[in-house]
Chains A and B, each alone.
Chain A
């Protein structure tokens, strides 16, 4: 009997665990180690953040689902990987620290045959002075929608702003990225337009100054270097459509910005031209940069070998080309295909936890040397597809032997469907429905724009909102492993 341990129970980890258990059955053991007791459909957090959904709508407890599936669920934080085992035993093992109520901090060693790192990111608030509290949490000067609890707090704060606006007090709202190396601009994009939509519904739009701040060098970059799509017979850049939406909704923007300091009601930021500025706010939602979760790796003799498994940013090394060099040398083939660790063939990484070879957007920095560019996004669809591909590979190795061919799922050969809400309402809502193919542009295959413009498109409308709402229910249904869950694609 082989034991597969998956660290993390988000989109990638949950997908890997549930498919692996389905395919391996009771002949092998599947263990999920995650510090969270609940699964969160993160894309809907933005609706919690504007009071259009409750926390209960976007989370569900993991334990009963894993019990039903026959997956061993450990509510704990993985802290150490020992890929070579101990001095007297070669069996690799993990050290986990319980987060379960009443057992907090209790450690345990778990041996494994195969290990998948799907921890997702650490929300690195402390990377920006004043954005974090110095202990990994939010400082309180701004809000976040990265977790369901953060979104609940964000809505509480937002409603106070709306009350002040209703009372005739003009309010200033700032939404965007809290660091020059952030990703996940899409979540901030959704949040700012949902706030704007709710403000119009509440007849207080005229009382709000809403402003966007981002590390993108142009609106519509989204960490993917933007995208080109065919609209009305033209092939056009996402820049034009993003700017159009901001202009239509009267949302001013600051781009190419590295937020360097956050204080109560004020941020300081540096622009790509090296100049320093300040912006005041009454309410701000700033996305933090992501980092690896801080897992450590140790050799048999106890020596630290974290840098063998992990890149300096804390994400796990996989089969990517990490020495591609300058931007001019970047190729689609730099991106990982199997997500297997190059040193240990029984370790894989899926979703946000793998270390990308480099950015997708063009790297930029200010004359002061501050890098200001979005890092690569790894949204739900690629995370799910990668998680499933890793599950297939490990199941094949277990069933067919070490020489089994690994499943491939390169982001340079994979598309992504993305629906970005711009306001909720069954008849009044809108969302930008987009597809990109492939996620990572391949300028050798598609020399024009790097992508296939027949499969890269975007449009805004009520249909997009309906799709986002249906996806909310569909993916929660799938994650709960309800009948026919495997028929719903990632």
Chain B
């Protein structure tokens, strides 16, 4: 059984989505996360600037 399928056996979790190995690896992939770091910071700065 794939890692992401294990918890679907719990009835409470059965109707949601669980990330697969690629999505989970990308969450801590340094290069991808550095890119996301830049993107998130820009988005947050826009929201901050709209809020002052």
B33 engages A462 (CB within 8 Å): yes
B33 engages A461 (CB within 8 Å): yes
**Max chain B Cβ within 10 angstroms of own Cβ: one of A247, A459, A467:** A247
Given known contacts A248-B7, A252-B12, A462 and B44 CB-to-CB distance under 8 angstroms: no
Given known contacts A253-B12, A461-B28, A437 and B44 CB-to-CB distance under 8 angstroms: no
B48 engages A417 (CB within 8 Å): yes
Residues in A whose Cβ lies below 8 Å from that of B4: 248
Q: How far is the CA of A385 from the CA of B49 in the complex (A)?
A: 11
Q: How far is the CA of A247 from the CA of B51 in the complex (A)?
A: 34
Please tell me if A47 contacts chain B, counting CB pairs below 8 Å: no
Of B15, B28, B40, B52, which contacts A467 at CB under 8 A? B40
Given known contacts A244-B18, A244-B19, A464-B40, A415 and B51 CB-to-CB distance under 8 angstroms: yes
A117, chain B: closest CB distance, angstroms: 22
**Max chain B Cβ within 10 angstroms of own Cβ: one of A243, A460, A462:** A462
A-facing residues in B1-52 (Cβ within 8 Å): 4, 7-8, 10, 12-13, 15-19, 24, 26-30, 33-34, 36-37, 40-41, 43-44, 46-52
A414 engages B51 (CB within 8 Å): yes
A427 engages B28 (CB within 8 Å): yes
Please tell me if A433 contacts chain B, counting CB pairs below 8 Å: yes
Please tell me if A489 contacts chain B, counting CB pairs below 8 Å: yes
B18 engages A428 (CB within 8 Å): no
Residues in B whose Cβ lies below 8 Å from that of A243: 13, 15-16
B16 engages A385 (CB within 8 Å): no
Please tell me if A463 contacts chain B, counting CB pairs below 8 Å: yes
A240 engages B17 (CB within 8 Å): yes
Please tell me if A189 contacts chain B, counting CB pairs below 8 Å: no
Residues in A whose Cβ lies below 8 Å from that of B44: 417, 433, 435, 467
Please tell me if A476 contacts chain B, counting CB pairs below 8 Å: no
Q: How far is the CA of A461 from the CA of B32 in the complex (A)?
A: 10
Q: Who on chain A is nearest to B41 by CB?
A: A467
A489 engages B48 (CB within 8 Å): yes
Q: Who on chain A is nearest to B13 by CB?
A: A247
B18 engages A459 (CB within 8 Å): no
Residues in B whose Cβ lies below 8 Å from that of A490: 48, 52
**Max chain A Cβ within 10 angstroms of own Cβ: one of B29, B41, B47, B48:** B47
Q: How far is the CA of A413 from the CA of B50 in the complex (A)?
A: 9
Give the interface SS of chain A, mostly helix, strand, loop or mixed: mixed
Residues in A whose Cβ lies below 8 Å from that of B12: 247, 252-253
Residues in B whose Cβ lies below 8 Å from that of A381: 48, 51
Given known contacts A385-B51, A435-B44, A462-B28, A248 and B36 CB-to-CB distance under 8 angstroms: no
Please tell me if A250 contacts chain B, counting CB pairs below 8 Å: yes
Residues in B whose Cβ lies below 8 Å from that of A437: 47, 50-51
B10 engages A252 (CB within 8 Å): yes
B52 engages A489 (CB within 8 Å): yes
**Max chain A Cβ within 10 angstroms of own Cβ: one of B17, B30, B51:** B51
B-facing residues in A423-464 (Cβ within 8 Å): 427-428, 430, 433, 435, 437, 455, 457, 459-464
Over the window 261-289 of chain A, the binary record of Cβ atoms lying under 8 Å from chain B Cβ atoms (1 yes, 0 no) is 00000000000000000000000000000
Residues in A whose Cβ lies below 8 Å from that of B7: 247-248, 250
Q: Who on chain A is nearest to B26 by CB?
A: A461
Please tell me if A322 contacts chain B, counting CB pairs below 8 Å: no
B47 engages A415 (CB within 8 Å): yes
A246 engages B50 (CB within 8 Å): no
Of A248, A413, A414, A462, which contacts B18 at CB under 8 A? A248
A208, chain B: closest CB distance, angstroms: 15
Of B16, B24, B30, B48, which contacts A247 at CB under 8 A? B16
Over the window 228-259 of chain A, the binary record of Cβ atoms lying under 8 Å from chain B Cβ atoms (1 yes, 0 no) is 00000000000010011011101011000000
Q: How far is the CA of A486 from the CA of B10 in the complex (A)?
A: 50
A433 engages B40 (CB within 8 Å): yes
Q: How far is the CA of A490 from the CA of B34 in the complex (A)?
A: 24
Residues in A whose Cβ lies below 8 Å from that of B33: 461-463, 466
**Max chain B Cβ within 10 angstroms of own Cβ: one of A437, A461, A464:** A461
B37 engages A467 (CB within 8 Å): yes
B-facing residues in A381-397 (Cβ within 8 Å): 381, 385, 388
B38, chain A: closest CB distance, angstroms: 8
A193, chain B: closest CB distance, angstroms: 13
Q: Who on chain A is nearest to B12 by CB?
A: A252
Closest 10 CB pairs of A and B: A247-B13, A463-B37, A415-B47, A243-B16, A462-B33, A463-B36, A461-B27, A417-B44, A414-B51, A435-B47
A-B contacts, 24 listed (Cβ < 8 Å): A240-B16, A243-B13, A243-B16, A246-B16, A247-B8, A247-B17, A248-B4, A248-B18, A248-B19, A381-B48, A415-B47, A416-B47, A417-B44, A427-B30, A430-B27, A437-B47, A437-B51, A455-B46, A461-B26, A461-B33, A462-B28, A464-B40, A466-B37, A490-B48
